[in-house]
């Protein structure tokens, strides 16, 4: 797995309607720790959030993970009501009418979520455990 940051200028071109919540992590202080690390690494988030329940959203293209039939894979790392929210379009794609539909990989979302947890814990050097 490899993550490629999507800057704010490219955000609307990268994000699709198929991105869905993968996991909400409720560990106290984790959302703030992740924000601090991502801000150090990338600066400004991919989106500028204006709501009190959400202050940042860093979006990444995920490389080296198969999300066929979709031609790309997106991972969003955000805070939501004080928790860390991971979202992805893994196991989803858009049909001809641009409506989200599940793919054969949908049943593997839990395994993908664990892969994301491991990757992020190693990369950010943070523990996601409650």
Burial readout 44-80 (b: 16 or more C-beta within 10 A, e: otherwise): ebbbeeeeeeebbbbbbebeebebeebeebbbbbbbb
Q: What pLDDT digit, counting tens, does each position of 92-113 carry?
A: 998 888 889 999 999 999 999 9
Residue 92 in tokens:
């989803």
For the chain, the domains span 2-124
Cβ atoms of residues 76 and 57 within 8 Å: yes
Q: 83 forms bridges with which residues in the sheet?
A: 80
Cβ atoms of residues 83 and 90 within 8 Å: no
Does residue 130 carry a pLDDT above 80? Answer: no
pLDDT for 7: 85
Q: What pLDDT digit, counting tens, does each position of 20-55 carry?
A: 999 999 999 999 999 999 999 999 898 866 667 888
Mean pLDDT of the chain: 89
Distance between CA 81 and CA 97 in Å, rounded? Answer: 32
């Amino acid at each position: 797995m490899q993550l490629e940051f999507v800057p704010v200028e490219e955000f609307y071109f990268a994000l699709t309607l198929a991105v869905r919540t993968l996991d909400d992590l409720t560990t106290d202080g984790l959302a703030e720790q992740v924000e601090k690390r991502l801000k150090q690494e990338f600066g400004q988030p991919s989106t500028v959030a204006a709501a009190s329940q959400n202050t940042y959203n860093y979006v990444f293209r995920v490389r080296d993970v198969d999300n066929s039939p979709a031609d790309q894979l997106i991972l969003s790392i955000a805070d939501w009501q004080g928790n860390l929210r991971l979202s992805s379009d893994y196991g989803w794609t858009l049909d001809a009418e641009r409506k989200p539909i599940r793919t054969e990989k949908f049943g593997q979302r839990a395994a993908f979520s664990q892969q994301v947890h491991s990757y992020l814990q190693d990369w950010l050097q943070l523990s996601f455990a409650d």
